[in-house]
Amino acid sequence: MSAPTIDQPVATVDFRDRSGRRRRLVRALVIVLIASLAAAAVWVVGFSTVLAAKEVRVIGVEGVAADQVRSVAAIPVGVPLARIDTGRAQAAVLALPWVATAEVRRGWPGEVVIAVEARVAIAALDGSADAVDATGTAFTPLGRVDPALPRVRATGVGLATAMAVLSGLPDDLARRVASVAATTRDNVELTLRSGALVRWGSHDQADFKADVLRALLREKRDMYDVSAPELPTTFRS
């Protein structure tokens, strides 16, 4: 007779639980790695000198004008680009009276670029040292106003209209203008270098008026009225 046998419990291994622990460990390591990389990126961009401003470059103007732009922009060299207040710098440059447009942008990895468009003087404001651009904006230029520019006597809407007329003249006519005056948008008058007066009127029909005036100038007169170009008149004293 054989001896009775006793069944021993068989130990079982739950491989699914081990696999789950491994996945959780890997996920935790990935999260730690991502967080570390993000922290390193924040430090490099925002706090280290790796991506700091090493140069401030001005485009659009040069010489004294560029130096003035750099001065008022006050970009701190050595400060990380991400921490530079480009909005403040842009507002400071736009406050310069001779600046028409300005944009301050970061040039990675180590420069700040300031793009500037200067106002172009097309006339000198009568009775002052200011110049006027094509939009009718009076401004103080960096240097002396060109004495060859026409003088303008106007303010407000009259100034804007006078400059629109002057800037729209063909070159051959613009060179003849010594001064321009206006009090409203409808009564622009040009004084030619010959001393003759041109009653231009409003800015309407500018090309037609220029053609008519060019034809009338073939005859020497003291006054040319092209405010109604369909019926122009002249006067000779």
Report how far residue 168's alpha carbon sits from residue 121's, in angstroms, rounded to the nearest whole number. 14
One-character DSSP codes across 99-127:
EEEEEEEEETTTEEEEEEEE----EEETT
Give the pair of three-digit tokens for residue 136. 């009718």
For residues 193 and 138, membership in a common domain is answered with: yes
Cα 2 to Cα 235: distance, rounded to the nearest angstrom = 148
* Dist. CA 56–CA 155, nearest whole Å: 38
In a domain, 2, yes or no: no
- Written as six digits, the tokens of 91 are 């507002």
Q: Which residues pair with 151 in a beta bridge?
A: 124, 179
CATH code, domain carrying 164: 3.40.50.11690
- Asked if 215 and 147 sit in the same domain, the reply is yes
Per-residue confidence in pLDDT tens, the chain, 237 aa? 555 655 555 555 555 566 667 777 677 667 766 655 554 445 444 444 556 889 999 999 999 999 999 999 999 998 999 999 999 999 999 999 999 999 999 998 899 999 999 999 999 999 999 999 999 999 999 888 999 999 999 999 999 999 999 999 999 999 999 999 999 999 999 999 999 999 999 999 999 999 999 999 999 999 999 999 999 999 998
Is 109 in the same domain as 127?
no
Question: In this structure, what CATH number is given to the domain that contains residue 104?
Answer: 3.10.20.310
Task: State if pTM tops 0.85.
Answer: no
In a domain, 143, yes or no: yes
